Amino acid sequence: MHVLVTGGAGYIGSHATLRLLEDGHRVTVYDNLDRGHQATVKILQAFGGERYRFVRGDLLETEALRTALAGVDAVMHFAALAHVGESVIDPFRYWSVNLGGTLSLLTAMRDAKTPRLVFSSTCATYGEPPPERIPIAEDCPQAPVNPYGASKLACERLIKDVAEAHRRNGLPFGFALLRYFNVCGSDPKARLGEDHDPETHLIPICLEVALGQRKELTVFGEDWDTPDGTCIRDYVHVTDLVDAHVRVLEKLAPGAELIYNVGTGQGASVREVLNACRRVTGRPVAERRGDRRPGDPPALVNSPAKIRRELGWTAARANLDVMIEDSWRWRKDHPHGYGGSRR
């Protein structure tokens, strides 16, 4: 199979590309390198050889996408802006890139007659579910509370509308929407890792403190209605997440509609993550208490029942220490990420 991966030079997209290459597929990566890394392009090119192709381009460049889609059987769409706080500050850019870019991609796919799409969505489309809807199932009402979540939900609705239009015109279009939770970990063989600038994710920040690159970690609130007073989130290892994408792609036929939440169903609190990072690294991780952040739900935990029942998927690396060990292994070897500046 020939798969086009948008955002394939970024964190999740590069891991997905590596897995597809390992499985023997041909992969075209389409990325503007705004938040992706040239280093991952070199790593994946060396691994994939002639089965790997990189195209530097922007999602809004429909003609470039149309050209890149020549001979492609399916698309995995990861390219997006994904920082909640940034989306509040600059909603114009988030709507332009996330929704406008997805519209451009779907237009190019229509013209190239590419029949299958696996879309990287997010649990942020659910907003702040009430306690009785935790763990979160796919039928939970979607009510995003920030521009990032709203833009991704709009993408989901656009994809559904496009698929319905294709069906009416006798052109079956299969799509999958994967809504996932906090992604973490790195390639267990330490070929690829997680490198954002600025870094906003809890586990990498803890590891930066352990490496002496940050003074401390801020715990945003210790008076939440949770067992230890800190927020609880569902963490999923990036290789498990990629495995879910591959399984969905294998099942996705033209005309099919698949929607799954992807996570472990096991919540971990900020305190538990912090202590696990200390345990795994064997180093002190300083912390300070901060105020609650507006819009932070006390707990977001996934129900993986549907994807387990229909695809037989379960997270193989669901242990928190294992996730952190994989992240730590890569970060120790790459203290400055792929070579860019780090805080």
Q: So which residues are the catalytic ones?
A: 148
Residue bearing tokens 């709203």 = 150
8 A C-beta contact, residue 27 and residue 18: no
Q: Kindly write down the DSSP assignment for every residue of 283-308, as one continuous string.
A: S---EEEEPPPTT--SEE-B--HHHH
Q: Which two tokens stand for residue 337?
A: 């990420």
β-strand partners of 176 = 118, 258
- Nearest-angstrom CA–CA distance, 82 and 286: 27
Find tokens 């994989």 and name the residue: 326
Three-class SS state of 324: helix
What DSSP designation does 6 have?
Answer: E
Distance, CA of 277 to chain centre: 21
d(CA 80, CA 77): 9
**Among candidate residues 51, 11, 47, the one with its CA nearest the CA of residue 28:** 51
Q: How far apart are the C-alpha atoms of 6 and 102, rounded to whole Å?
A: 10
Q: Are 28 and 100 in contact (CB under 8 A)?
A: no
Nearest to 283 by CA among 201, 214, 195, 224: 214
Please provide the DSSP assignment of 214-252 as one string. Answer: SS-EEEE-S-SSSTTSS-EEEEEEHHHHHHHHHHHHHH-
Residues 248 and 177: their CA atoms lie apart, in Å, by 9
Q: CA 28, CA 20: separation in Å to the nearest integer? A: 11
